[in-house]
Every structure is written in C-alpha cells, then in structure tokens.
Amino acid sequence: MEWEDICESSQLLGLECFFLEKMDNLINGIILKSRNEAMGSICKTEILGKSCHSWVSAAFGNNRVVTLETNSKNLLEEIKERINEDLPYTVILHSDTPLVTKKTIFDACHAIKNNGEDVVKIPRGLVIRGEFLNQIEEIEAADEEIDFECDFMTAHNMKQVAKIGEILKSRILDYHMENGVFVEDPKSTSIEADVVIGKGVKIGANTSIKGKSVIKDNVSIRSSMIDECIVCEKSMIDSSQMTKSFIGKSVLMGPFANIRPLSVIGDGCRIGNFVEIKKSIIGNGSKISHLAYVGDAEIGEKCNIGCGVVFVNYDGKNKFPTKIGDRVFIGSNSNLVAPITIEDDAFIAAGSTVTVDVPSRALVVARERETVKENWVKSSE
C-alpha cells in the first residue's frame, strides 16, 4: 500500500490506529544526538526506564532509524548515504524530544503531503519528501503550522526532564487505566515504560513499578516498590520492596517485606512484616510471617519459619547455603548456621542454634537448659 493510499483510507475510515500501523516501513528515521554543557549527552538521560534516545526511537515504530552526531560537518551527506531512497519520507528529529509519538510523526508527514512542499520544518526537526532529498545541497524548510501540543518539549535541563517525566508518567498510567487497571492515586504512582500489567490489577497510592516487571491478572499492590519482578495472579503486595525476583500465585506479602534479587517465592506463600529474603527459593505454601532473615536458602513446601529466625549464611568472608526440606517447623528465635541441611518433617525448637545437619522427622533442642533459683531476689523491705 502506498503512502497516498494510506492517507486516503485513513480519511475515509476515520481510524487513527489504521494509519499508525500502516506507516511502518515507509519512513527514513534520523535521530540527531543532542548535548549541552549542563547535561552532557542528552541521548542517555533516562526517564521512566528509557533513555531519551529510546523514547524518540520508539516513535518511529518499525521504521529504520539511524542515529547521527548533530555537529557533523557533512551531516546532509551522511543522511543521504544512510537512508533508503525508495521510502517516501525522511523525518529528522533530535534526541532531546522524548515526548514525540508515532502520531506526531504521521501528522508531520501528512502535513507535507497536504502542503505540497518538499521540506517542512517542525519543532526540533524536519520532514523531507524522499525523492527531493538527493537533489539538495542545503536544507531550507518551509514553516508549517501543526498542532503538536507538548510533543517537542526539550530535555535541556533537569527541570525540563522532570516536567517531561510527569507527562510521560501520565500517558503510561492512562494507557494502563484504559486497559482495566485500577490506579487509586495517579499522582503518587509511577509505572515505567516497559512494565506489563494484566487485567483486574489494583494499584494503591505511593507505588512504583520499574524495569521490565510483569504484573499478572488480579494482583493487588499497595505502597510498594517493584523492580524487574514477575508477580503472578491474585497475589497481594503490601508496603514492600522487591527486586529482580519471582512471586508466585496467591502470595501474601508484607507489610514491610524486603525481597532482594534472585529470590523465588512459591504459590500460596505468606511473607510477613519485616521479613528479608535474599537469593532464596521458598516452596509452595510456606510461611515466614514476621521478623526473619532468609539468605542463600532453599526452603521446601509447607514449612513454617518462626519469628526472629536468622539464616546465618556469612562467616565474614564467604556465603554458605541452607537447604530445608518439606513441612519443616523452625521455632522462633532460632539460628541456622550454614552450611546446613534440615530434612523433611524436622522440628527445630524455639531458641535453638543449629550447626549440624538434621535428619527427617527429628526434634532439635539446641539451647542451654534453664535454671530456676527460687527466692533468689531479696525483698526490698
């Protein structure tokens, strides 16, 4: 389908999404690297998980994009050498305009067709008719009035970066809310560009979701920070922090849990308040309800880790693993000194410090026997 056919079809059908998809592979995209004294290379400035360059590049969709230095002495010649001459339009943008969208570029190309010009100037860029580019030695662009709203706001200082971030944040939240995600307080909620969120998800105030996190259907999140995690269906995350980890189905998390990188939390687990988990695997249905540290451990299914339990994994030089089988009970205020293995159905009495492997179904009591001395306290009378 030719460009003119796309424009005519779009006018007849009134379908914006139709042209935005069909414009792919019809445009030469040129991005000029921007820099200034205050920020250096603006290309690499990150906003909501993407660099400014990546935001501009995404606006070109599936069209081929070439990045060039702005201060090149032979910029026009470099552009001519790098483009595909068979494509009808060349669009030149700067890397400091991360608010530009696919629709922005389409509108600009449509404007040059309607205007009958060979070159049209847009804020921070140019649109050039393809067959005309190789005939010119310098660019003299006509001015064209096009309503781009704030699409060409430039990221030339950190104040502008913050303003642009707010606009991008609003666009991202609008997209997710239009697709069935409930956001309680958009002002205090931040979702980065590459986050994927399923249906029926509820996101409470003061929540930040970063990186390439995946939040599956019917998850509930409140006042939490989630970075590069997968959270499976029907889990509830309350006032917690999670990084580079996997959270299974129907997990109850928090408040104030800290899940550090490379952890796996199985289905139906309970990870309670002030629990820290580091580089560990927690089996399905296990409970770590409060005030515990679990590091470099593999815990089986349906285990109970009591209050104040510490997995002693570090001797000052090296980290050591702990392996716990299924249905193990670890009593409150116990210390498990790694390396250690505790087999299925074992029971560790409260207050024990365990330094040796424990066989299946064994009871461990590793604490000094108490001594009671009656009438030891003298009367104050």
Per-residue pLDDT tens digits for 158-211? 888 999 999 999 999 999 999 999 999 999 999 999 999 999 999 999 999 999
The Cα angle at residue 53 between residues 47 and 55, in degrees rounded to 5: 60
Q: pLDDT-based confidence at 81, cuts 50/70/90?
A: confident
Nearest CA to 211 out of 223, 224, 229 is that of 229
Q: Where are the alpha helices (DSSP H) in 14-101?
A: 16-22, 52-59, 75-82
Q: Which of 79-83, 131-135, 139-143, 335-339 has the highest mean pLDDT?
A: 335-339
CA Rg value for the chain: 30
Q: Which residues pair with 323 in a beta bridge?
A: 298, 341
The domains of the chain, with CATH numbers, are 3-158 (3.90.550.10), 172-364 (2.160.10.10)
What is the pLDDT averaged over residues 104-123?
78
pTM of the model: 0.85
Indicate whether 149 pLDDT > 80: no
Indicate whether 16 pLDDT > 60: no
Give the C-alpha separation, 42 to 193, whole Å.
18
290 noted as active-site residue: yes
Q: pLDDT-based confidence at 128, cuts 50/70/90?
A: confident
Give the C-alpha separation, 343 to 332, whole Å.
18
What is the pLDDT averaged over residues 326-335?
98
Handedness of CA 60, 65, 68, 73 (dihedral sign): negative
Q: Which of 92-101, 115-124, 252-261, 370-379 has the highest mean pLDDT?
A: 252-261
